[in-house]
């Protein structure tokens, strides 16, 4: 069997691009076509080591894993460890789906009853199995993505928001929570819930000290701070109910502005907004650090 290196390189670039593109959709990671192409090219060049006996040591598991990590970094440039782990997990999941589809097609179309391995008589036969396997894998991935994204769109949605106060800004990853009905009791304004750690940089020092010492539930302490920072920030007390907590209180404030990044537009809000400070984690996996009230999206 003869294998032309240029054909093998082109086929691997196409397959790698498809795998990385599917990975970006599953993990909801924004990237560019150029980054995907460069990563796919690097992964494809690596497969050419089979033609060089002196480079057979590069077939070790550690080298293969390193190439995969490099492809993920080039494609998506993950900033956090949990993002990287999700991306590389999705990358291998899609890769195994492709490999499984190709092996399955070979098994079904193989005339022999026994299945002892994969061997191809010529390059045309290899191409045939690759094309059929890729098409089947794409169909499977498409329906998996459709189901997954449909479920996400019905129940919740994750987006980025910027909160501005006194010429300072912080960026949050917020979940559009259809079950969030929390409103400020006096003005009836919808409330955005955000983790203290995400808001820390825009809050006055006295408020930071209160949260660091866990005195946010001390009403006397809160009253003193409300008077002290009244010129910089207007604090509100927001009662709330949650599972296991029927009489909770959150400290809220009115920001100067909020910018919400949606798929089709960017919403700039300056009125009718209250941000409540939550001194704990909203998500155990740290996927988001804010809860966005659905009324803010109209």
Question: Between 258 and 53, whose confidence is greater?
Answer: 258
Specify the pTM.
0.49
| Residue range(s) defining the domain that contains residue 262 | 166-297
Residue 149: the pLDDT is: 58
Sort strands 257-261 and 156-165 into parallel, antiparallel or unpaired.
antiparallel
Residue 125: the pLDDT is: 58
The strand pairing partners of 276, in sequence order, are 193, 252
| DSSP H or E run through 71 | helix 61-76
Asked, for residue 161, whether it belongs to a domain, the answer is no
| DSSP H or E run through 27 | helix 5-27
Q: Which of 18-32, 109-123, 227-241 has the lowest mean pLDDT?
A: 109-123
Residue 205 Cα distances to 67, 189, 236, 278, angstroms: 46, 26, 17, 17
Asked, for residue 274, whether it belongs to a domain, the answer is yes
Asked, for residue 159, whether it belongs to a domain, the answer is no
Residues 145-200 have pLDDT tens digits of: 666 555 555 445 788 899 999 889 999 988 887 666 788 888 888 889 999 999 99
Does 145 lie in the same domain as 18? yes
- Per the structure, how many domains does the chain have? 2
Residue 98: the pLDDT is: 73
Residues 63-81 have pLDDT tens digits of: 888 888 999 999 998 888 8
Asked, for residue 160, whether it belongs to a domain, the answer is no
> Are residues 171 and 162 in contact, defined by beta-carbon separation less than 8 angstroms?
yes
The SS3 of residue 130 is helix
Does 188 lie in the same domain as 121? no
Sorting pLDDT into bands at 50, 70 and 90, what band is 1? very low
Does 143 lie in the same domain as 96? yes
Does 149 lie in the same domain as 10? yes
Residues 83-127 have pLDDT tens digits of: 888 888 888 888 887 776 666 666 666 554 444 444 445 455 556
Sorting pLDDT into bands at 50, 70 and 90, what band is 220? confident
Question: What is the maximum alpha-carbon separation in the chain?
Answer: 84
Kindly calculate the radius of gyration of the chain based on its CA atoms and give it in whole angstroms.
26
Asked, for residue 27, whether it belongs to a domain, the answer is yes
Does 292 lie in the same domain as 244? yes
Domain end residue (candidates: 102, 133, 154)? 154
Smallest CA-to-CA distance from 279 within 222, 213, 234 is with 213
Does 276 lie in the same domain as 140? no
Residue 46: the pLDDT is: 84
Does 143 lie in the same domain as 200? no
Domain end residue (candidates: 99, 133, 154)? 154
Dihedrals φ, ψ of 114, to 5°? -85, 145
Does 173 lie in the same domain as 146? no
3-state helix, strand, coil in the chain (%, to 5): 50, 20, 25
């Amino acid at each position: 069997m003869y294998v032309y290196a240029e054909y093998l390189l082109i086929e691997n670039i196409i397959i790698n691009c498809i795998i990385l593109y599917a990975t970006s959709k599953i993990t909801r990671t924004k990237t560019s076509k150029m980054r995907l192409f460069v990563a796919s090219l690097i992964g494809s060049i690596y497969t050419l080591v089979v033609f060089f006996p002196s480079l057979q040591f590069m077939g070790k598991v550690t080298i293969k894993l390193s190439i995969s990590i490099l492809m993920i970094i080039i494609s998506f440039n993950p900033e956090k460890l949990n993002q990287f782990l999700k991306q590389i997990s999705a990358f291998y999941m899609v890769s195994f789906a492709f490999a499984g589809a190709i092996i399955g097609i070979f098994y079904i179309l193989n005339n022999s009853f026994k299945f002892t391995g994969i061997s191809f008589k010529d390059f045309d036969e290899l191409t045939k199995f690759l094309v059929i396997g890729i098409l089947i894998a794409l169909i499977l991935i498409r329906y998996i993505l459709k189901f997954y994204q449909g479920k996400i769109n019905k129940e919740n949605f994750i987006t980025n928001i910027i909160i501005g106060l006194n010429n300072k800004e912080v960026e949050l990853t917020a979940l559009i929570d259809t079950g969030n009905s929390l409103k400020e009791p006096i003005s009836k304004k919808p409330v955005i819930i955000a983790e203290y750690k995400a808001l820390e940089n825009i809050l006055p020092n006295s408020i930071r000290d209160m949260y660091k010492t866990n005195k946010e539930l001390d009403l006397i302490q809160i009253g003193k701070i409300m008077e002290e920072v009244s010129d910089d920030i207007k604090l509100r007390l927001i009662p709330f109910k949650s599972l296991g907590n029927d009489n909770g209180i959150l400290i809220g404030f009115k920001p100067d502005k909020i910018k919400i990044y949606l798929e089709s537009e960017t919403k700039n809000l300056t009125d009718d907004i209250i941000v409540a400070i939550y001194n704990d984690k909203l998500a155990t996996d740290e996927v988001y650090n804010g809860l966005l009230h659905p009324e803010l999206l109209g």
